[in-house]
Amino acid sequence: MDFELSDDEAALAEAMRRMCQSRFPLERVRAGEGRRVVDADQWRALAEAGVFSLRLAEDDGGAGLGTAHAAVVFEELGRALVPGPLVATHVAARIVKGAGTGEQLVGLVHRPPMGRVLPVVVADLASLGAVLVVDEQGVHQLPPEALEAEPIDHGLDPLTPLWRLATIPEGAVVADAGTARELWRDHLVLSAALLVGMASAVAELATEYAKQRRQFDRPIGSFQAVKHLCADMLVRAETARASVHAAAVTIDQPDVGDALRAGAGAALLASDAAVANAKACIQVHGGMGFTWEVPAHLYLMRAALVSRGLGRAQRLAEVVAERL
């Protein structure tokens, strides 16, 4: 038992962080505001870094790595606010040809119950080559043209274009119900990894600001009220990170636990951590936190977007409760 990052996990995380720093510095990510399509060069860079293929077998063009490796990679992507259908394309790579190589961008949708009132939303539709619909029967694949969709003018996350789906046709069944459950579970865990990256990024942002910003002739970080806000941010991020890593390892090593319980728990805690930390980051920044300039809000909006894709917190908690 060694729950620290292995040397190659640490090296992969480090490489991914460097790649994000050079390819996705915050000013470049922010420059994508208002875009309706995913930047092809950026996507190619992600594919070349193995983001979509790393869990595929080497014979299938992948790196044959585990979910633990994927988790540390997605944590870095979350930290850097990298846009696009990252998790969906990654989990679809085992099904959709060209997803692993970056030729196809893929969307993932959980089929909602009939007679619903609230809309179903999908990101980056204009860039997608396929949409996978997950339901109790299994996984259905649809060409994006088959979906009746309407663009959302002004989405919450300024860096992610959204479409609202009017109808979701049946589509071809491409995998069974067991695979559908695995896809959804992996989607939970890797989305949670993105969220943990965000939770950490805003904790650091707030801590740095608390060291620099002076009021009453002292750094505000010397006031316990601010200090404790920052400490609580770290606790939330580290707790969520442990839960995401445990869930990822449990997918790779099924006999150490229940991967769905771990995945639902990780999704619950990482959503909470990312949203709560982004709010706390705004609070630590005071008025500046309410400005467009400080990126705290970009993390808040992205965290809201990603966590909304995991279903209601109440439901995730019930999944854990049922499997305790």
Q: Considering only residues 226-255, where is the footprint of a copy of itself by CB under 8 A?
A: 228
292 binds, among another protein, a copy of itself, none (CB under 5 to 8 A by kind): another protein
Which residue in 76, 77, 69 sits closest to 9, CA to CA?
69
The CA distance from 73 to 9, in Å, is 9
286 binds, among another protein, a copy of itself, none (CB under 5 to 8 A by kind): another protein
Least distance in angstroms from the C-beta of 103 to another protein: 28
Q: Does 318 bind another protein (CB under 8 A)?
A: yes
Cβ-in-10-Å burial (0-12, 13-18, 19+) of 67 comes to buried
Residue 260, token pair as written in the block: 């769905």
Binding mask 17-56 for another protein (x = CB under 8 A): ----------------------------------------
Half-sphere exposure of residue 174: CA atoms within 13 angstroms, side-chain side: 19
Please list, in sequence order, all residues whose beta carbon lies within 8 angstroms of the beta carbon of residue 35, skipping any fewer than 6 positions away: 83, 159, 161
Stretch that binds a copy of itself, among 47-55, 56-64, 218-226, 269-277 (CB under 8 A): 218-226
Binding mask 167-206 for another protein (x = CB under 8 A): ----------------------------------------
Which residue in 76, 73, 129 sits closest to 101, CA to CA?
129
Q: Of 145, 178, 224, 287, which lies in the binding site for a copy of itself, with binding defined by CB under 8 A? A: 224
Q: Of 27, 41, 172, 225, which lies in the binding site for another protein, with binding defined by CB under 8 A? A: 225
Q: Which C-beta is closer to a copy of itself: that of 39 or that of 232?
A: 232
Q: CB neighbours (10 Å) of residue 70?
A: 27
Least distance in angstroms from the C-beta of 221 to a copy of itself: 12
Residue that the structure tokens 């193995």 belong to: 50
Q: Of 262, 274, 303, 310, which lies in the binding site for another protein, with binding defined by CB under 8 A? A: 262
243 binds, among another protein, a copy of itself, none (CB under 5 to 8 A by kind): another protein
Distance from chain centroid for Cα 279: 18
Q: Of 35, 66, 164, 223, which lies in the binding site for a copy of itself, with binding defined by CB under 8 A? A: 223
The CA distance from 2 to 267, in Å, is 23
Q: Of 162, 178, 195, 200, which lies in the binding site for another protein, with binding defined by CB under 8 A? A: 162
Residues binding another protein: number (CB under 8 A): 95
Please list, in sequence order, all residues whose beta carbon lies within 8 angstroms of the beta carbon of residue 293, skipping any fewer than 6 positions away: none
Stretch that binds another protein, among 11-19, 49-57, 134-142, 159-167 (CB under 8 A): 159-167
Q: Return the DSSP state at 101.
A: T
Q: Is the dihedral of CA 276, 281, 285, 289 positive or negative?
A: negative
The CA distance from 92 to 134, in Å, is 11
Stretch that binds another protein, among 18-26, 73-81, 182-190, 234-242 (CB under 8 A): 234-242
Least distance in angstroms from the C-beta of 226 to a copy of itself: 9
Q: Does 167 bind a copy of itself (CB under 8 A)?
A: no
Instruction: Tell me the three state secondary structure of residue 90.
Output: helix
The CA distance from 207 to 284, in Å, is 8
Residues contributing to the site for a copy of itself (CB under 8 A): 223-225, 228
